[in-house]
Amino acid sequence: LAKTTQPISMDSYEGQEVNITCSHNNIATNDYITWYQQFPSQGPRFIIQGYKTKVTNEVASLFIPADRKSSTLSLPRVSLSDTAVYYCLVGLNFGNEKLTFGTGTRLTIIP
C-alpha cells in the first residue's frame, strides 16, 4: 500500500490556477493514482485518474512524472465552488489493500 502525503490545507483566490501535490514514494508498478473531491456534508466524488504523464478532463488536469513518486492535481481558474477537500488515492485494489482516504487537502477559495 503506497502511503500518500498531501498538504493539510491551501488557500487561493478566485480565478487563479491551483496545484495540489501528492507524494507517494513507494508506489507500486500497477498502482492507480486517483483524486477525489469532497464538499461539506457530501460523499467524495471522483475527479480524475492517471497512470503516468498527463491526463486532462473537463474539471482538472493530473500531472505525473516519469518516476510516479508524486502527482499534481491542477484546477484551472478556480471559483468559490471549488472550495472542498481533495483526496489523493494510490493503490491497485480497494478491498484487499483496505484503501482509505487520508485527511486530504482542504482547499479554500477566497473571493
Provide the 8-state DSSP code for 76. S
- Smallest gap from Cβ 104 to other proteins, in A, equals 6
Smaller CB separation from other proteins, 13 or 46? 46
Q: What does the binding site for other proteins look like in residue numbers (CB under 8 A)? A: 31-32, 34, 36, 41-46, 49, 87, 89-104
- Smallest gap from Cβ 90 to other proteins, in A, equals 8
Cell readout for 7 is: 498538504
Smaller CB separation from other proteins, 67 or 98? 98
- Smallest gap from Cβ 111 to other proteins, in A, equals 26
Q: Using CA atoms, how far apart are residues 27 and 96, in angstroms rounded to an integer?
A: 16
Smaller CB separation from other proteins, 4 or 77? 4
Q: Which of 20, 8, 7, 6 minimizes the C-alpha distance to 78?
A: 20
Smaller CB separation from other proteins, 43 or 111? 43
| C-alpha torsion sign, points 13, 14, 15, 16 | positive
CA angle, 57 then 55 then 96, to 5°: 100
